[in-house]
């Protein structure tokens, strides 16, 4: 048996209650339960988290890097989508 | 209580709490038995570093090793000077059980050893957490969660290897066969231990032997493995009668501090 034959799992860690789980990396493991153990042993050794998710990497639907032009570049010049684009009149309070 | 336990074991680790010392020979010996079990198995597991079947398993085993070396340091630090006991005792003075000094073999044999030891250690530490000696109780209480994880991890792997391929099942069965004869020693109660049990200091392994047998049988059944036939028990580790393997382990572990006694990290 070798780790190279094992499927890949993406690991998400919740740093503390109330925060969302964040992607931290991936592990190889033969099944879901051992993927959790490997995630625990690899990514929470220094008290990084209070909760773990593992997801089969094959279940992640990813965007195609070749499409990044049409997907993302149109947003580059839409600076008005950032709140900092707008001047707030002095009379407006509480914003 | 948890905080107090941690503080106390940290004090013990730093040598600022009272140590037992050889003026209390029975407890001095018992602390070495507990500390030697953990330290020797920690050293053994450390041998997997860089050699495990996968990087993730490498980390798992190293984590177990570090937990065990920590427990060993705590108990030897309670007995006396932990470094002196760890690095300047010859093989006849070691009090660990024979199971923990057995060679790693293949991954399945390592897992078999871990299942048999961690299941026992978990039950022992649960009992020891109520020791009438609060220093012993504090160290055991700190270790019990670590060991619970070791036990679960070993059971998980036993089930996957036993109920895996023909080759993994064969290797797992052979690993168990190798380790099985060292189990009776875990439940041996000699005169020294009898006295400490009577004082409420030591945990009585006989109290959980049938629970242990059931727990192991449950894991093996799930792993679709037969319990090995009982073999002639091999005893003697607690009295310093060790297998040839311990001397080699100590040679590696003790080489540096013995060759360079004043070496600093």
**Following DSSP, what letter does each residue of A38-83 receive, concatenated?**
HHHHHH-TTS--SEEEEEEGGG-----GGGHHHHHGGGTT-GGGSG
Any domain includes A81: no
Any domain includes B158: yes
Q: How confident is the model at residue B1 (pLDDT cuts 50, 70, 90)?
A: very low
Query: How many domains in chain A?
Result: 1
Any domain includes B78: yes
The per-residue pLDDT of chain A, averaged, comes to 91
| B54, B164, B168 ranked by CB distance to A28: nearest | B54
CATH code of the domain covering residue A30: 3.10.20.520
Q: What is the ipTM of this complex?
A: 0.80
Residue range A22-66, pLDDT digits in tens: 999 999 999 999 999 999 999 998 889 999 999 999 999 999 999
CB within 8 A of B115, min separation 6: which ones? Answer: B151, B154, B155, B158, B216, B219
Any domain includes B82: yes
Residue range B100-149, pLDDT digits in tens: 999 999 999 999 999 999 999 999 999 999 999 999 999 999 999 999 99
Q: Which domain holds residue A32?
A: 3-63
Any domain includes A54: yes
Any domain includes B265: no
Any domain includes A26: yes
Return d(Cα B95, Cα B220) in angstroms, integer.
29
Using a CB–CB cutoff of 8 Å, tell me whether B53 touches chain A: yes
Lowest mean pLDDT among B125-139, B177-191, B251-265: B251-265
Phi, psi of B216 (to 5 degrees): -65, -45
Q: Which domain holds residue B182?
A: 2-259
pLDDT of residue B11: 56
**Residue A89: C-alpha distances to residues A79, A83, A86, B147 (Å):** 19, 13, 9, 62
Question: Is residue A88 pLDDT above 90, yes or no?
Answer: no
Please, are residues B42 and B65 in contact by the beta-carbon 8 Å criterion?
yes
pLDDT of residue B174: 98
Return d(Cα A24, Cα A46) in angstroms, integer.
14
Residue range B84-97, pLDDT digits in tens: 999 999 999 999 99
Residues of chain A contacting residue B164, judged by C-beta atoms under 8 Å apart: 1
Query: How many domains in chain B?
Result: 1
CATH code of the domain covering residue B48: 1.20.1260.10
Mean pLDDT of A6-33: 96
Contact B56 A1 (CB under 8 A): no
Any domain includes B168: yes
Question: Is residue A1 pLDDT above 60, yes or no?
Answer: no
Is the Cα torsion angle B164, B169, B171, B175 positive or negative in sign? positive
Any domain includes A43: yes
Please give the interface size between A and B, counted as residue pairs whose CB atoms are below 8 Å apart.
Answer: 39
pLDDT of residue B6: 53
pLDDT of residue B16: 52
Any domain includes B52: yes
- B263 vs B113, residue with greater confidence: B113
Any domain includes B80: yes
Any domain includes A42: yes
| B54, B156, B165 ranked by CB distance to A33: nearest | B156
Residue A5, min C-alpha distance to chain B (Å): 10
Mean pLDDT of B138-164: 97
Residue range B26-66, pLDDT digits in tens: 999 999 999 999 999 999 999 999 999 899 999 999 999 99
């Amino acid at each position: 048996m070798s780790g190279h034959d094992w499927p890949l799992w993406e690991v998400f860690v919740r740093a503390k209650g109330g925060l969302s789980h964040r992607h931290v990396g991936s592990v190889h493991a033969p099944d879901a339960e051992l993927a959790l153990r490997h995630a625990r042993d690899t990514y929470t050794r220094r008290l990084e988290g209070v909760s773990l998710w593992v997801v089969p990497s094959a279940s992640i639907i990813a965007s195609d890097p070749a499409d990044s032009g049409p997907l993302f570049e149109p947003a580059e010049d839409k600076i008005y989508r950032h709140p900092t684009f707008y001047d707030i009149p002095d009379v407006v309070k509480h914003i | 209580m948890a905080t107090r336990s941690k503080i106390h074991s940290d004090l013990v680790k730093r040598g600022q709490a009272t140590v037992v010392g050889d003026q209390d020979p029975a407890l001095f010996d018992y602390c070495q038995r507990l500390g030697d079990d953990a330290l020797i198995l920690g050293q053994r597991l450390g041998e997997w570093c860089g050699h495990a079947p996968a990087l993730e398993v490498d980390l798992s085993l190293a984590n177990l090793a570090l937990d065990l070396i920590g427990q060993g340091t705590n108990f030897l630090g309670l007995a006396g000077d932990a470094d002196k006991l760890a690095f300047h005792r010859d093989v006849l003075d070691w009090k660990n059980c024979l199971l923990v000094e057995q060679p790693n073999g293949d991954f399945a044999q390592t897992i078999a050893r871990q299942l048999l030891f961690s299941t026992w250690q978990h039950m022992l530490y649960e009992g020891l957490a109520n020791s009438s000696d609060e220093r012993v109780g504090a160290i055991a209480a700190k270790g019990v969660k670590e060991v619970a994880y070791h036990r679960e991890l070993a059971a998980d792997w036993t089930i996957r290897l036993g109920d895996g391929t023909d080759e993994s099942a064969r290797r797992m069965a052979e690993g168990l066969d190798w380790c099985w004869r060292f189990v009776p020693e875990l439940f041996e109660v000699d005169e020294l231990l009898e006295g400490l049990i009577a004082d409420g200091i030591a945990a009585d392994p006989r109290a959980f032997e049938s629970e242990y047998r059931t727990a192991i049988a449950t894991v093996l059944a799930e792993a679709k493995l037969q319990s090995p036939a009982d073999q002639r028990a091999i005893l003697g580790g607690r009295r310093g009668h060790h297998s040839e393997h311990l001397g080699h382990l100590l040679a590696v572990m003790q080489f540096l501090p013995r060759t360079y006694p004043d070496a600093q990290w």
